[in-house]
């Protein structure tokens, strides 16, 4: 039996993304470009869902509880023509906690956390951030969420969540999932065929 299809969107840009600050579970709002990206994802989604031959309202919609993901979902739903507020949130979709590193850039951390940063470089998947999580821990809660879904679903969440989904679903190996860019303004479609990007 085929698994549900996921239409996954990373939240739009924030000022901390621009500054390359680690956001983790800090509730940083979208900036002006982030809102444009979210609306653009709504346009892409509208086209993708129309191709499926089903009404947009037939899909499930779920977001991380953080404001940047919720606003992304609401802007997408507006573009699709759905009530902005009729979606669920699930705490299992929260971004990975960066613990005491949240709010810092890697350049700033280099001065005071150089040994920990070096350890992270050796094992990005398994490294537990000080006071936070590892990708290996994040995948446990994201897997539990994924295994609970029963219908094709539109998701608004975070880069880390997308990375561990890619690993869990076998799109890439865990070591590869922990590096590389998860773009904003892109709709990632996870299905039995693998993963596709639409922008």
> How long is the chain?
199
| HSE-CB of 26 using CA atoms within 13 angstroms | 18
Q: What is the pLDDT of residues 129-153, one digit of tens each?
A: 999 999 999 999 999 999 999 999 9
Please, where are the H alpha helices in the chain? 15-19, 32-51, 67-80, 106-112, 114-122, 135-148, 159-168, 174-177
Rounded Cα–Cα distance for residues 164 and 146 (Å)? 11
Query: Tokens 């040994």 correspond to what residue?
Result: 115
pTM value?
Answer: 0.95
Instruction: Please check the confidence at residue 66 and state whether its pLDDT lies above 80.
Output: yes
How many angstroms separate the CA atoms of 50 and 122, rounded?
44
Mean pLDDT score across all residues of the chain: 95
Q: How many angstroms separate the CA atoms of 13 and 41, rounded?
A: 12
From the list 13, 71, 95, 133, the catalytic residue is 95
Q: Is 115 a catalytic residue?
A: no
In this model, does residue 2 exceed pLDDT 80?
yes
Mark whether 158 is an active-site residue: no
pLDDT digits (tens, 9 = 90+) for 99-112: 999 999 999 999 88
User: What is the pLDDT at residue 136?
Assistant: 96
Q: What pLDDT, on the 0 to 100 scale, is given for residue 140?
A: 97
Which domains does the chain possess? 6-198 (3.40.50.1240)
């Amino acid at each position: 039996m085929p698994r549900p299809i996921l239409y996954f969107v990373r939240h739009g840009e924030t000022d901390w993304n621009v500054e390359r600050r680690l956001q983790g579970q800090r509730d940083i709002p979208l900036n002006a470009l982030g809102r444009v990206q979210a609306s653009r994802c709504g346009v892409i989604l509208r086209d993708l869902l129309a191709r499926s031959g089903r009404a947009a309202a037939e899909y499930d919609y779920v977001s991380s509880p953080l404001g940047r993901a919720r606003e992304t979902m609401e802007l997408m739903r507006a573009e699709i023509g759905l009530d902005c507020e009729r979606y669920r949130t699930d705490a299992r979709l929260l971004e990975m906690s960066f613990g005491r590193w949240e709010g810092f850039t890697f350049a700033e951390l280099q001065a005071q956390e150089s040994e920990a940063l070096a350890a992270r470089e050796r094992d990005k998947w398994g490294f537990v951030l000080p006071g936070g999580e590892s990708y290996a821990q994040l995948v446990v809660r994201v897997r539990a969420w994924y295994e609970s879904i029963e219908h094709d679903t539109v998701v608004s969440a975070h880069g880390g969540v997308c990375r561990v989904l890619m690993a869990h679903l076998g799109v890439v190996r865990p070591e590869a999932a922990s590096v590389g860019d998860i773009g904003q303004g892109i709709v990632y479609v996870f299905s039995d065929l693998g993963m596709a990007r639409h922008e």
